[in-house]
Amino acid sequence: MRAITATLLALALAGVGCDSDRRAISRDDLPDVPAEATVSVELGDDGFDVEELQLTTADLVEFRVVGDENHGVRTDDYTIDTGPLFPGESTDVIFDKPGRYVVIDTADDTATIDVAVDEAVSP
C-alpha cells in the first residue's frame, strides 16, 4: 500500500499554474490530519463508486483501486496527481483548501467525482 503512510498529497496553493506550485506534504507537516481515512472511495475498472463528495478541510480521503487495471487520481487542474496506482493499492488525499474540484480517473478521463470542500469548523 504505497503512499498510505509515505506521503499525503495536498492542495498547497489556491492558484496553481506550474509545477513549482505543487508540493507533496508529509504527515509531519499536517499534524491535525486524522490517522485513519474519514472517507473511502473505491476506483474500479468502471470508475468511481460515488459521483460526488461533500468534504471539509479536515477529511482524509482514501482512494483504493479495486479493479484489475492500473488507475490514478488527479484533479482537473492537476493540483493533485497520485500517479499510477496498481490493483489493490490505495493512497490518502486531503483537500486543505475549500472549493469545488473535479477528481478524474487517470485511466479513464470520463470517470469523475465532483468534490465540494468546506472549511472545517473548530470544536
What pTM value is reported for the model? 0.74
- Arch. (CATH architecture) of 8-118: Sandwich (2.60)
- pLDDT per position as a tens digit, 63-72: 999 999 999 9
Domain boundaries defined on the chain = 8-118
- pLDDT per position as a tens digit, 61-109: 999 999 999 999 999 999 899 999 999 999 999 998 999 999 999 999 9
- pLDDT per position as a tens digit, 28-46: 666 577 788 999 999 999 9
Residue the block writes with cell 490493483: 87
Residue 112, CA atoms < 13 Å, CB-side half-sphere:
10
